[in-house]
Chains A and B, each alone.
Chain A
């Protein structure tokens, strides 16, 4: 079982897409490719679980190490732990769903699917890398397609949004790069500088370097995960993006940032993480609360979900900032959960938009009567967002809260209380939007004749829904998967 397969499959799919003649061929190729990815990811998940059950206790499994740039000691070093597996599963699911909801893209179809598939290559590469430079390479690979996807197939102020998103994410990457270079030049493993994650974790860089590098790395990755105050690309970006791109952006791309914060910033610079912990907690608390209040004021469904994503990703940052094992597990659970939930939400919004040609909450009403399936999906996504037990959001948020409460400092407690309070505000805006759009009387005559979801849309929604339910009704498999990984990170933090 080679991990490279995960990068290779989307890459090959992209190649095949180039040689396709008709749009139908393009779509089916992309679909088959994405299903193959999902199959691989699932197979890996089961294989990984089996290996762990059999007593395999290496930190990273399926490791491979090939020299890439000898002179700078850059290697193609890959391997996964439970956290990475969870992110890979998430990516695979969102990609299949994203391909399915894009079935109706008629304009430059080939290029569209090509970019979608390329984007997933970047994401997989990022999650499996154990070499910081390789990781960065894949991170960049995931940024460019987004710019094009929004700029070409977007709606509304798409040029502005695409530009803003690309520039901010590029700025984030620049910060990450600076941080990486600082770490690299201050590392010393057997007399050599290194980008190797494992080597760096075993030979921590010194205190001064950590203090300087940490803000660059954390803020840089923070931009990707829409951490306050670097979140403003998200609302504009999401709202202008085509449905699949929104799903990728919120479902996968924001998770690149969270994963980077955890795997690179906290894991390699644990002392600095403890030193700056209070700032992270503060920023997270602001994001959670402020994000949810800003959501209250939005009238466009996509803006609602985008701002609510800022608030929800605040829980990821909060969990990471608390630096307890439970909270870190919770942060990763929240990443997975939010990825699935927001993808489902954007899918539902996109499908409704295609039919009603508006995303303005005030211009819709009573859709449950005409499109029961889509409305139900919308409501379930909303309920997941407001943390209903049985859906994934609940398990994740509760784990974050429980982990956060293990920090006895008063400011940490207050931040957690704010977090708990924000779930009430979430309930307000979710119910307000669904009360208007889904329930109530039908407000627009034209909406009486719209049709419910097609097979591809149903399949996409059900796929995501099954994953959400699988986590929501039986979260223990996910925590079992994640716990060894967060334990390793905790070991770094507690080892002085």
Chain B
């Protein structure tokens, strides 16, 4: 199979699934839709894996061992001028190949898992069709050859996310969350759009390769874009920062993160796919895509990426320590880990010094595995307990042994326990940070400790602590437990596969595949560097064990001691409230009514006034035509008189 055909099929099959299931499937085979979708996804994943294997081991390398950018196909989609156009295409390079594996694989896992999790849902076919739509959009995004193509699919993943968060559309909270996610990311995307306009205006192209070439080599375009500026900042910096704004919105970086925790209203498998493994890392991917420009021409913008990344990472970790909704804990944890990937890019250099770049994508890869596992595991727990709140859980290890083991593996992986996947990728990130920026390094280290703490807080609260009594909830729930055990096999299989990968994915020699310039990156492992973070993780796990291993009063005592911090973190540092104030009160509560008032009273008022005035004038004028000849005579004579007077004065 040729690359171009394969890369047409990879996004094509999920799209076909979307059309098939939403138009035909819903009516004619609602029950079998899940199976149809899963089989299509399986085919997609298989093709993707074969293509990627070919790229990395057969066709991808040039003679000197550097991975190339190969355009599998490219069509002009919307021409703007003779040179500027939106193209639809597929680019093969290490990061896009990495992403299609991650996307198709996690999507396949979620498809299989949902067969059990979503069974019996009324809109089963629609659910699978939306999953297909999402997978299609995400694949189009990562394969993009053109910055506008990325924007198009960027919007499409946004809308699929909207549809899936609002899947339970009769639940007001789900509707509100879906709106919030869409609007916040849309706001960021407006910045992204302006960034694209700026960059493409100066470079005269939207093609990634050409744009990177023009903005990294000295030349007329680079001079123009760095000398032009607005408010003392060069056009290049504006362009890159605005593009990054788009990325920060999708990747839930502070302060655009507020939609992510609410997005947990969607079905849990959806959270695993979209809001943990794939869509939310699109921002990292975007910065990675434009990385040469950031690194070589605009270090200022890259510093912004680094600081926003590291701040988001810490911020989210602190908040995660206090949340009690298990999905929200995972959401904040996702935000924190994406912050890790972001600042890894931010501290990275290009070429030889590109350890951060490699580490970032390595972490993206391993994170996709263990975070998907965490979400799917949490889904199994929620499926069993019928609650999201960890207060309703505890002691579940005997009730759900498989889930317990895989969840433990995932927690160890994310905490950076030696030998597990997260350990390797996190080590690389910390090494990269250590080499470039001490502030970021120490913040990152602290975050690593916090991560281990809140993950094990979660783990102990779910599976240890108090003993679990199903009967304390309503009775029919208890009956449910008698009927269904831990989880059906369709849910367990993906959990087990992902658990294996949460260990195995760390052992890949990642640097030889993905690097900032395509040539293999040699990463070394230093025991001395690993000692500190690992030690910290151990301590954090121990503290979590003390606090949550058995039910006790320590957590509440600590919460009262550090009351200010605790309440701040519990309320997510009031960021939502600030947004609410700005948007509801100021923007829509102030400008909206003013615009509406002006329209009703002033603009329309003038129209109505003109209408009334002409009516009144006509009314007055009508009185003159009253049919009395003597009156007409008076008008005629007074007119004549006036005319005569005028003439006399004018002639003199």
Q: Give chain B nearest CB distance to A282 CB in angstroms.
A: 15
Total residues of chain B contacting the partner, CB 8 A:
49
CB-based contact A479/B175 at 8 Å? no
Q: A168–B183 Cα gap in the complex (Å)?
A: 36
Question: What is the size category of the interface that chain A forms with chain B?
Answer: 35 or more
CB < 8 Å: which of A325, A389, A399, A476 contacts B155? A389
Tell me if A406 is interfacial: C-beta within 8 Å of chain B.
yes
Chain A residue at minimal CB-CB distance from B156 = A389
A388: B residues at CB distance < 8 A: 155-156, 159
A389: B residues at CB distance < 8 A: 151-153, 155-156
Tell me if B384 is interfacial: C-beta within 8 Å of chain A.
no
CB-based contact B592/A297 at 8 Å? yes
Tell me if B170 is interfacial: C-beta within 8 Å of chain A.
yes
Chain B residue at minimal CB-CB distance from A439 = B169
CB-based contact A229/B603 at 8 Å? yes
Chain A residue at minimal CB-CB distance from B604 = A232
Chain A residue at minimal CB-CB distance from B591 = A293
Interface 1/0s, chain B 175-191, versus A by CB < 8 A? 11011001100110010
CB-based contact B599/A294 at 8 Å? yes
CB-based contact A427/B186 at 8 Å? yes
Q: Assuming A232-B599, A290-B595, A401-B193, is B183 touching A441 (CB within 8 A)?
A: no
Interface 1/0s, chain B 570-609, versus A by CB < 8 A? 0000000000000000001001111110110001101100
Tell me if A13 is interfacial: C-beta within 8 Å of chain B.
no
Which residues 157-177 of B have a CB within 8 angstroms of A? 159, 166, 169-170, 172, 175-176
Q: A167–B200 Cα gap in the complex (Å)?
A: 46
Q: Assuming A229-B603, A232-B607, is B179 touching A401 (CB within 8 A)?
A: no
Q: Assuming A296-B592, A428-B183, A476-B77, is B175 touching A420 (CB within 8 A)?
A: no
CB-based contact A402/B595 at 8 Å? no
Which residues 436-465 of A have a CB within 8 angstroms of B? 438-442
Q: Give chain A nearest CB distance to B44 CB in angstroms.
A: 20
B81: A residues at CB distance < 8 A: 325-326
Tell me if B201 is interfacial: C-beta within 8 Å of chain A.
yes
A163: B residues at CB distance < 8 A: 611
Tell me if A193 is interfacial: C-beta within 8 Å of chain B.
no
Q: A442–B169 Cα gap in the complex (Å)?
A: 11
Interface 1/0s, chain B 191-228, versus A by CB < 8 A? 00110011011000000000000000000000000000
Q: Give chain A nearest CB distance to B151 CB in angstroms.
A: 8
Tell me if B84 is interfacial: C-beta within 8 Å of chain A.
yes
For chain A, what secondary structure do more than half of its interface residues adopt (helix, strand, loop), or is it mixed?
helix
A479: B residues at CB distance < 8 A: 78-79
Interface 1/0s, chain A 367-399, versus B by CB < 8 A? 011000000000000010011111000110011
A475: B residues at CB distance < 8 A: 77-78
CB-based contact A476/B76 at 8 Å? yes
Which residues 451-487 of A have a CB within 8 angstroms of B? 474-476, 479, 483
B594: A residues at CB distance < 8 A: 293
Tell me if B362 is interfacial: C-beta within 8 Å of chain A.
no
CB-based contact A398/B148 at 8 Å? yes
B156: A residues at CB distance < 8 A: 388-390
A224: B residues at CB distance < 8 A: none
Tell me if B80 is interfacial: C-beta within 8 Å of chain A.
yes
CB < 8 Å: which of B78, B190, B598, B611 contacts A476? B78
Q: A232–B600 Cα gap in the complex (Å)?
A: 8
Tell me if A421 is interfacial: C-beta within 8 Å of chain B.
yes
- 20 other contacts beyond A164-B607, A293-B592, A294-B592, with CB at 8 A cut-off? A167-B611, A229-B603, A229-B606, A231-B603, A232-B599, A326-B80, A366-B169, A389-B152, A389-B153, A394-B152, A394-B155, A402-B80, A402-B200, A405-B198, A427-B182, A427-B183, A428-B183, A431-B183, A440-B170, A475-B78
**5 smallest beta-carbon distances between A and B, as pairs:** A297-B596, A293-B595, A389-B152, A439-B169, A296-B592
Q: List 6 A-B contacts (CB under 8 A).
A: A228-B603, A383-B159, A389-B153, A399-B80, A402-B197, A440-B169
